Structures are given as structure tokens and as C-alpha cells.
Amino acid sequence: MSRQCKHSKLWFYFTRMIFLALMAGFALLLLFWTILYYADIISINPFNRHIPVIMLTLGSIVIGGVVAVYVGRQIIKPMQKINDAFDELSKGNFDVRIENDTKVEEIKEIAKRFNAMVFDLSHVETLRSDFVVNVSHEFKTPIASIEGYATLLQNPSLSQEKRIYYVEKILGNTGRLSKLSSNVLTLSKLENQETVMNKKEYRLDEQLRKAVLLLEDKWSAKNLEFDIELERQFFYGNEQLLDQVWFNLLDNAIKYSPRGETIRVSIDTTPTTVSVTIANNGNGMSEETQKHIFEKFYQGDAFRKTDGNGLGLALVKRIVDLCQGKIAVNSEIGQGTVFTVILPMK
């Protein structure tokens, strides 16, 4: 009922506008006719001869009706469709589209932009739904594990060895939850950030060396070696943000490297950019995996075999984007993986 009222009012306002415009034109024509009559240019008195007046009036009505119908078909109906489409969108229907078959360019452009907007909103809604599902799943797994091990610990006859083992499992899962929460909060903050603040000049080569040392427990446990080619290099940027980039990339390189292999870290520069390359000799990734590795919570077959929540590379990509840089991955099955981060010097 409300929609019909909106439509009828729209038609009423539009028709009234057309007829007022035509009647104003008729009044001006009548005034012009009167002036010509009193100036003895024409001999027909518009007030003594009613037939011309009636004909002009009827003509105005006919012309007004034709104009109202034609313009209404070209403008009013598409506007009604747009109004209906917005009603559907407000109800959460992201499948609604406006037919782009009108001849009016302005209406056609509105329809085009509306359809593009709905398309983007539908993808945002899909990402939001997937994000909620993935977060719920990632939290549910360690929580269930903690609950299970905590239940086993209640057994009074449990041996000390098993008790220590179960406690270690609980601590491992709480650490996983802590890391997941931290990554989710950090990523959420970065996605609402458009610029990088707190920039300063610092030694990029030293930052990479420190990142390697912080991960010593992990790479020494796998008997890995590092081939590091890092000349003295100053960089102007946010040191704290880029710490996360190098830490995540190095952590992945260690995680997916076979025992006894070598990880290569190098820096290359041009007059305007600095490139950091981190390469490992792991199993590599398929082309399909490479297309999705920077998506939130994505874990390919190789990634599922290790601990992780699929947020590390999403964080890396967002930070590099904020720094107006680029990140590239080059990998083949059985040939290892190379990540290259290119950042502007200023």
C-alpha cells in the first residue's frame, strides 16, 4: 500500500509540474496575442473569440498528456524501479539489480552505479559471513581441546607424566587462542587504517637479523641454516609494523622448510625502492594455493599440516599495502617458495 502511494504521489507531482508549465506557456501566449491585437498587428480579439482559446486549452491538455506519458515512461518508471530496488536492498536482498535499458543517460548511469554498489556489498557480506564462520571454527577447535584435556586432568589416578603432557597441550592451545585473538584484533585495526603513522629512519638489515634471532628456537630445532646477504641499509617507515611482516614471512619459511635445509634472506635496492627476498627449499605451492594465500583464514593442503590460523599472510599483505608496497610469491611444487616484498624508499 505504501509503495503505491509513493508511486501515485510521484506521478501527481510530475503531472502537475508538466501542466503548470504548459498553462504558464499558454498564459504567456495569450498575453503575447493580446499585445499583438492591441498593437493592430492581428485582428482577432482573443477575448471575443473563444474558439482559439478553447483550441489552445485543449491542445495544451493533449500535449501535456502526451508529454507526461512519454517522459513518465522514460524517467518516472525507472525511478520507481530504483526506489523498489533500494527497498529490496534495505531488506538485505543483495541479488537485486536494476535493468539498464533506459534511454536516459543519467538514469542509466544511476542504474550502473547501483548495480556496482550492490555487487560490492554482496561480496562484503560474503566475506563478513565467511569471517564469522572461520573465526568461530578457529576458536572452537582449541577450546574443545582445552576442555578435553582439562577433563582428563580431573582423573585422580593420572600419572605425573600424562599430567604434564596434558598441561602442555592446554598451554599450547591457550597460546594458539591468544595468537588468534591478537591477529584478529590487529587485522581489524589495520583494515580501518589508511595511512602509516610513527615513521622513522632505522636499519632495515638489523631489523631482519633481529627477526631471525627471535626465531632461533624454531630454526635450530630443525637444524636449519641461513644464507643472509644484508648490506647496511637504512629505511624510513614504521618499524613495528614491518616487524610483523618479516616475522611472519620468516616463520613460514622455517615452518615449511625440511630439516637441514637453508633459508635465504637478501636485500636489493634501486634509487626508489628496497626489496627484501625470503626463500626456502620446501615443498612449494600450487598455482591455486598461490592465488589465495593472502586471503583471511585461507589454508591450503600444505598449510593445514602445520599449526596456524591463516591470518599471518593476510596481515603481511595489509601492512605492505599500507606502506604502498607490493608483495609477490614465486613457488613451484617441489621447488621451494620465494617471497619478495618491494617497498618505496620514501
Please report the domains of the chain, with CATH numbers, ordered by start residue: 2-93 (no CATH), 200-344 (3.30.565.10)
Inform me whether the pLDDT recorded for 8 exceeds 50.
no
User: What distance in Å separates the CA atoms of residue 78 and residue 68, rounded to the nearest whole number?
Assistant: 14
Q: 47 or 248: whose pLDDT is higher?
A: 248
Residue 304: per-residue pLDDT = 44
Inform me whether the pLDDT recorded for 37 exceeds 80.
no
Residue 4: per-residue pLDDT = 42
Residue 91: per-residue pLDDT = 75
Inform me whether the pLDDT recorded for 331 exceeds 90.
no
User: What distance in Å separates the CA atoms of residue 197 and residue 237, rounded to the nearest whole number?
Assistant: 8
Which pLDDT band, with edges at 50, 70 and 90, does 108 fall under? confident
Which pLDDT band, with edges at 50, 70 and 90, does 205 fall under? very high
Quote the cell numbers at residue 150: 582439562
Which pLDDT band, with edges at 50, 70 and 90, does 13 fall under? low
Percentage of residues of the chain with pLDDT beyond 90: 18
Residue 1: per-residue pLDDT = 38
User: What distance in Å separates the CA atoms of residue 21 and residue 15, rounded to the nearest whole number?
Assistant: 10
Q: What does the mean pLDDT of the chain come to? A: 78
Dihedral sign of CA atoms 13, 14, 20, 21 in order: positive
Residue 303: per-residue pLDDT = 47
Q: What is the chain's alpha carbon radius of gyration, rounded to the nearest angstrom? A: 35
Who's near 78: CB < 8 A, 6+ residues apart?
A: 98, 102, 104, 107, 111
User: What distance in Å separates the CA atoms of residue 208 and residue 338, rounded to the nearest whole number?
Assistant: 16
User: What distance in Å separates the CA atoms of residue 54 and residue 208, rounded to the nearest whole number?
Assistant: 92
Inform me whether the pLDDT recorded for 259 exceeds 50.
yes
Residue 5: per-residue pLDDT = 42
DSSP 140: H
Residue 263: per-residue pLDDT = 92
| Integer angstrom CA distances of residue 182 from 135, 175, 264, 312 | 12, 10, 28, 11
Residue 246: per-residue pLDDT = 94
Lowest mean pLDDT among 97-101, 173-177, 273-277: 97-101
Residue 49: per-residue pLDDT = 56
Which pLDDT band, with edges at 50, 70 and 90, does 102 fall under? low
The residue-averaged pLDDT of 53-75 equals 65
Q: How many helices (H) and strands (E) does the chain have?
A: 11, 7
Residue 285: per-residue pLDDT = 85
